[in-house]
Chains A and B, each alone.
Chain A
Amino acid sequence: MWRLIRHSLSSLFAVCIGLSADAGTAPAVVPNGVILVKGAAPRSSDSVTPLPEEGKVADGRYSNAYFSLSYPIPAGWTEQPAGPPPSEGGSYVLTQFAFWDREQQRVRAQVLVTAQDLFFSASSAPSARELMASLRRGVVPQYEIERGAEEVTIAGRTFYRVAYGSPLVGLHWRVLSTDARCHALTFTLTGGDKAALDAAERAMGGISLPKESDAPLCVKGYAHDDNIVEKTEPYLATRRFNTIPVRVTIDGEGRVKHVHVLSAFPDQSDAIIAALRAWRLKPYLVDGKPAEIETGLVFGTLRAAARGSAAGSGRL
């Protein structure tokens, strides 16, 4: 009994003063608002090669080295909390901005920038154009189409635009998507304030997204058995039944130069990265000359969310 009372008193004391009961030193405290125990998460084979999820905001612009994208944030708009990690279907929330009416504590409009890796898309859409056509079909009859799908040119790039809304809710959506490195790079503008939406769309004119870049060619489904010269299957010790989408860069000699695991548990990523380093493929030829390419693979349990790259992939 005395042991219990003593334990309780010391515990009570610890709570009161916020210290551990031993030695009077400040306790190691688990921080609030930090995700320390992660589930499936992205991982790459080096820390230098840019990744889609690594964009950042500085000097009034959102910059993303992977896409060579620079996007000017409209004046008065603020960056919103970061989005979730890449999904097992290859979708990314890159960044988000909102225009708040602080006086009325109301959002006037927002911009969500996303990317869908077209190697892993659940829909069979092979391009931004098809994706927008699919979106247009999908929003009817829930919403009213206001315009599109149509082609527009922004900063010298072709975007596919769909505008729709809900008179009942009083919100409008303008969705603009373009192709970039076999991703559909999409800007979704939402809000009830048309002037704010116009301002956000005008700001897109200041986007920098070069057509030509040093990025490798993207080739869907290249890593199929006919093109693989040497292959070691990764050993995934624990069956977790998750889909693991992987982007690889293959150099001109057919070696795996870079691995980006979009979504996997750490032990799975370790095994996949280690195995892929030993792979050798036939060099991809452009005009008869070897070229560096990006392609996709799916490991783990194949589900609809990753069906896009299923054929001929190195899945287990």
Chain B
Amino acid sequence: MKLRITAVLTLSLLLFVSQAFSQSDPGIRGGPPGAGGPLPSVAADNPLTILKFFNDGQSRFQEVDSVKGTIAGEAGKGLGPRFNAMGCARCHAFPAVGGTSPSVNPQIVDAGADGAINLPPSFVTLSGPVREARFVFFTDPAGNPITSQPNGGVEDLFIIAGRSDAGPCTTSVISQPDFASAVAHNNVIFRIPTPLFGGGLVENIEETDLLSYQASVAGNSFGIAGTFNHNGNDGTIARFGWKAQNKSLEIFAGEAYNVEQGVSNELFTQEHPTPEEERSLGLPNPCKLNATPEDHTNFNVGSIATLSDAVQFAMFMRLLAPPDRSPDTPGGSASIGRGEEFFNKIGCETCHHNRFPSFSSSITPSLDTQKVNLYSDLEIHHMGSTLADNVSQGAAGGDQFRTAPLWGLGKRIFLLHDGRTPDLLKAIDQHSSPSSEANTAVLNFNSLLSTQKQDILNFLRSL
């Protein structure tokens, strides 16, 4: 008995010592969401009626889609024939509407909703992150990747076949992509939803400020030298999406509506096929069940209802306030303050930059000449072979990603572009690998004492 007590005490002491001297991710910050509401001037309805636009956009953002819009509780029209989820807020859900992946993945439910007979792929689980999938390469008939033929397009997880409103779009004419084969060939990569809070502020950062900042950190002591992704039409800096592939919130909304939910709209006017269908004869005709675009300007109604969903999704994102940060949680204000200093000085802040101004705004005062504390330079950087997804988008190559904005990080469950980890320490570690611009900053992080690292982790979870 005495021996057992001694053993327990020794174990407890060891545990205490190890906890006292090793840093750890504090995890999701508790308390209210601190996000999801409108910008202050929008809440004050300045200019008049703008709050109605926000509320309407938020409502549409939460709408659940069906194919025809005729199923109770699924009033949105145009789902599929291929889709990843049945509504925007299904995935942009945590810690509030407009955020990112929730703890319970709604894709499992959506896969079988209304009679659909989808088999969720192995990489989509109830407790895992919401995921979008892309095949890295096109394949031969046996599923072997052809490395001279990069793919990178979105392979929607689900089809409408089997649903009560799918009509002639059955499994005899359409099928899910062969995800099992892609997994077996390691030919599939994932993306999780990007959080949307503060989208209007990000949209309203002037190019001059981004370019000036880039020039100001040239020749830094950390080996960092990023570039920008550019909109293919006018050559200006694109800034939304994991690889900064989208220029504006409206393009972002239109693409997501089309690609993630299968709703054609005025920005992306045809139904979304798989990349393989696109190389062949496109989507089979029996699955084109609605006139296009399915989402459009509503000419026969007045007021806000005239606007299309895509326009109002963008307006909702534009008017969302940035996430709150905590002054003292976790770890106390002193630790958070030190952590920010360490973060800045060891090189992290070179990319995760925190001091952009927004330009003058024609929309609402809270977007006008404000400080944008997004913790991103909006550049694309080489992140190395460990994070590489081998997907090229615009000027971004297989290992280049937009610096992920860190505001709201305290309330994110899944981290990195594919949600591969919930652990901040692992996420930091994954920034270092061959070809990464972050190698020096990670070495600097690993030069710190455990208590200093803990301060940085506390700071990051306070955001």
Contact = CB atoms under 8 A, between A and B. Distances in A.
Interface residues of B, number: 77
Interface in B123-175: 136-137, 142-145, 147, 150, 152, 171-172, 175
B364 interface: no
Contact of B398 (A28, A38, A107): A38
Nearest to B137: A30
B186 A190 contact: no
Contact of B439 (A96, A122, A143): A96
Contacts of A135: 219, 221
B218 A35 contact: no
A169 B143 contact: no
B341 interface: yes
Dominant secondary structure at the B interface = loop
Contacts of A173: 221
Interface string B419-463: 000000000000011111101100110111100100000000000
A4 interface: yes
A143 B443 contact: no
A32 B171 CA distance: 33
B235 interface: yes
Q: Secondary structure of the A side of the interface?
A: loop
A83 B447 CA distance: 19
A27 B185 contact: yes
A303 B211 contact: yes
Contacts of B444: 107, 110, 171, 190
Contact of A14 (B181, B211, B433): B181
Contacts of B399: 35
A88 interface: yes
Given A85-B435, A169-B452, A23 B142 contact: yes
Nearest to A139: B221
A241 B211 contact: no
Contacts of B175: 3-4, 7
Contacts of B222: 112
A19 B172 contact: no
A38 B145 CA distance: 17
Interface string B183-217: 11111000000000000000000000001101110
Q: Which of A12, A191, A241 has the most CB of B within 10 A?
A: A241
Interface in A2-32: 3-4, 7-8, 10-12, 14-15, 18-23, 27-32
Contacts of B388: 33-35
Interface in A228-282: 239-243
A188 interface: yes
A22 B142 contact: yes
Contacts of B212: 304
Contacts of A105: 446
Contact of B223 (A107, A114, A170, A305): A114
25 contacts: A8-B180, A12-B180, A28-B185, A29-B185, A33-B385, A33-B386, A33-B434, A34-B388, A37-B392, A37-B398, A39-B400, A81-B435, A84-B436, A87-B226, A96-B440, A106-B449, A107-B443, A112-B221, A122-B214, A131-B219, A135-B221, A169-B341, A169-B452, A192-B447, A301-B235
User: A-B pairs with the 9 shortest C-beta distances?
Assistant: A39-B397, A11-B180, A87-B225, A122-B218, A37-B398, A84-B382, A241-B230, A28-B144, A37-B390
